[in-house]
């Protein structure tokens, strides 16, 4: 009888549960990775309500790092002991128009059929069998926490690049969770002249100063200021909407200067995109979906210490406590909880 292991999964009733799964045996074309740490993403919290991307019956977790412990007979270029970050959308087909034109984030196979933690088993388990195409080698000396932050950093970096040139610009970020905090830090790194953060939870606003923000407000404070006619201190050239909230998107449109750019990063119910405002201000709206080269670039930023993330890590806990972590994150009482599946 095969040994089993504890996992966090989306069961057939679309409920997030602790379950048991057999320890995976890699196919000849796969690599077995011992998971070191795996973050819980905001989208994981809403997995039951996102049937378009999260399939029932799979282990959750797409923000993961680990170590190669076994390679299939057909795999080359990887050795036991290699430290890796896993690109959950890395199993690209290599043949579709998007792969061939440098836009792998639109490869259907990679993002909608085999994405780790969404349509294939992810990192909220001690070991995971993956395609070697998902592996990214970590530079020597990369910190343990930093390795687990590669995926969210790549997501934020992609959103920032979708905004275009930000040097000298005023950037507003709505939503001060992990992606929003990273966006603020990357904006400061990219020499934005001014960074504004709007976040309702005081526990998350507490991180704003360390993230390089110049102004931090609650949504009510921002709305009141805009309604008062004193718009100068809130008007932005670029907004990164990281909350998935329709009201935050509406506020973002209100704060944008004519000709401004809105990048929608957070997914949620309802859009808040008023077409009249978009037309009258000639606002450019971009979506931002996963990442392309940004995954590798995020590794370098984190390995070199150019972006700090250790202070954003609220806690590292065992997998057995993961369900309580989901509840804490839903209540926005914490910033980022990393799961150690082997603790």
The domain 4-149+309-340: what is its CATH number? 3.90.180.10
Distance between CA atoms of residues 93 and 75, nearest Å = 17
Nearest-CA neighbor of 17 among 48, 39, 42, 63?
48
Query: For residue 125, what pLDDT is reported?
Result: 98
Mean pLDDT of 320-336: 92
Kindly indicate the confidence band of residue 89, based on its pLDDT and cuts at 50, 70 and 90: very high
Query: For residue 343, what pLDDT is reported?
Result: 86
Cβ-based neighbour number of residue 70 at 10 Å? 17
Contacts of 176 by beta carbon, 8 Å cutoff, 6+ apart: 184, 197, 198, 199, 201, 204, 205, 207, 208, 211, 216, 242
Q: How do residues 217-266 score in pLDDT, each as one tens digit?
A: 999 999 999 888 777 788 999 999 999 889 999 999 999 999 999 999 98
Under 8 Å between Cβ of 248 and 272: yes
Count helices and strands in the chain by DSSP H and E runs: 12, 16
Distance between CA atoms of residues 253 and 278, nearest Å = 7
**Is the pLDDT at 1 greater than 80, yes or no?**
no
Kindly indicate the confidence band of residue 210, based on its pLDDT and cuts at 50, 70 and 90: very high
Q: How do residues 153-179 score in pLDDT, each as one tens digit?
A: 999 999 999 999 999 999 999 999 999
Distance between CA atoms of residues 176 and 331, nearest Å = 13
Domain boundaries, the chain: 4-149+309-340, 154-287
Q: How, if at all, do strands 194-198 and 215-217 pair?
A: parallel
Cα–chain center distance at 240: 14
Cβ-based neighbour number of residue 340 at 10 Å? 17
Mean pLDDT of the chain: 95
**Is the pLDDT at 269 greater than 70, yes or no?**
no
Mean pLDDT of 52-63: 96
Query: For residue 270, what pLDDT is reported?
Result: 64
Instruction: Judge: domain 154-287, CATH 2.60.40.10.
Output: no
Considering the entire predicted model, what is its pTM? Answer: 0.95
Query: For residue 244, what pLDDT is reported?
Result: 86
């Amino acid at each position: 009888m095969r040994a089993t292991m504890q996992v966090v999964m989306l069961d057939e009733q679309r409920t997030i549960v602790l379950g048991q799964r057999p320890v995976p045996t890699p196919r000849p074309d796969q690599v077995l990775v011992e998971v070191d740490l795996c973050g819980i993403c905001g989208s994981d919290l809403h997995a039951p309500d996102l049937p378009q991307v999260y399939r029932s019956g799979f282990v959750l977790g797409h923000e993961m790092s680990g170590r190669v412990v076994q390679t299939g007979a057909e795999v080359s270029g990887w050795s036991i002991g290699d430290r890796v970050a896993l690109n959950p959308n890395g199993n690209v087909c290599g043949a579709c128009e998007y792969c061939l034109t440098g836009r792998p984030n639109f490869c259907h196979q990679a993002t909608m059929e085999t994405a780790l933690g969404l349509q294939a088993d992810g990192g909220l388990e001690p070991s995971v069998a993956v395609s070697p195409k998902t592996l990214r080698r970590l530079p020597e000396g990369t910190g343990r926490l930093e390795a687990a932050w590669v995926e969210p950093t790549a997501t934020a970096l992609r959103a920032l690049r979708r905004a275009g040139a930000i040097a000298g610009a005023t950037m507003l970020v709505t939503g001060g969770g992990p992606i929003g905090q990273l966006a603020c830090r990357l904006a400061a790194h990219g020499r934005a002249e001014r960074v504004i953060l709007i976040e309702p939870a005081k526990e998350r606003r507490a991180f704003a100063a360390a993230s390089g923000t110049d102004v931090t407000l609650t949504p009510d404070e921002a709305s009141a200021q805009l309604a008062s006619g004193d718009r100068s201190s809130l008007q932005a050239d670029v907004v990164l909407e990281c909350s998935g909230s329709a009201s935050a998107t509406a506020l973002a449109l209100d704060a944008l200067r004519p000709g401004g750019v809105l990048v929608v990063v957070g997914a949620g119910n309802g859009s808040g995109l008023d077409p009249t405002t978009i037309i009258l201000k000639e606002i450019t709206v971009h979506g931002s979906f996963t990442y392309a080269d940004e995954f590798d670039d995020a590794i370098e930023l984190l390995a070199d210490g150019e972006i700090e993330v250790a202070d954003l890590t609220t806690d590292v806990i065992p997998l057995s406590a993961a369900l309580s972590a989901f509840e804490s994150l839903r209540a926005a009482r914490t910033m980022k909880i990393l799961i150690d599946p082997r603790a």
